[in-house]
Amino acid sequence: MHMRHRRGFTLIELLIVVVIIGILAAIAIPKFAATKGKAHFAAMKSDLHNLTTAEEAYFYDHAKYSAVLDSLAFQSSHGDVVTVTQADATGWSATSQNPQSYPHFCALFVGDAAAVVPATQAGVVACQ
């Protein structure tokens, strides 16, 4: 009788590869989640900077700031909730929130508007 040698992987070899892939995935997934949170945080800060540009353009045309985001033609990033808390002829303040970000809350005020915690310096985005 003629014996044929079979080529291929044994069940043990395949199981070892699957276990190694599982270990690598367990290491990579938390790091990916942290990176995603940092991206949301950057988007919140960017939204407040973009809102500054939109408010200044509106002020140039109307000699006052606006609390209505639609009148500013402003669109926030996906998942971010941007709220203008005060707006008048002398200044404005706003907040940005995202539950998937850490920190979850950022604020900014410009001009004579009341500071929103954690913002302490006019024109500088602060987060907590």
- Can you give the length of the chain in residues? 128
Average pLDDT for residues 25-53, to the nearest whole number? Answer: 91
User: Does residue 6 surpass a pLDDT of 80?
Assistant: no
Per residue in 49-96, pLDDT (tens digit) is 999 999 999 999 999 999 999 999 999 999 999 999 999 999 999 999
Quote the pLDDT of residue 30. Answer: 85
Half-sphere exposure of 70 (CA within 13 A, CB side): 0
Average pLDDT over the chain reads: 92
CA 21 distance to own-chain centroid: 30
Residue identified by tokens 């913002």 is: 119
- Please give the average per-residue pLDDT across 100-115, as a whole number: 92
Is residue 30 classed exposed, middle or buried when 0-12, 13-18 and 19+ CB atoms within 10 A define those classes?
A: exposed
94 membership: H or E segment, kind and range? strand 91-97
pLDDT of residue 8: 81
When comparing pLDDT for 2 and 80, which is higher? 80
pTM greater than 0.85 (yes/no) = no
The strand pairing partners of 107, in sequence order, are 95, 126
Count of CA atoms in the C-beta half-sphere (13 A) of 75 = 1
User: 116 with 91: CB under 8 angstroms?
Assistant: no
Which residues make Cβ contacts (< 8 Å) with residue 62, sequence separation at least 6? Answer: none
pLDDT band at 2 (very low <50, low <70, confident <90, very high): low
Question: 4 pLDDT exceeds 90?
Answer: no
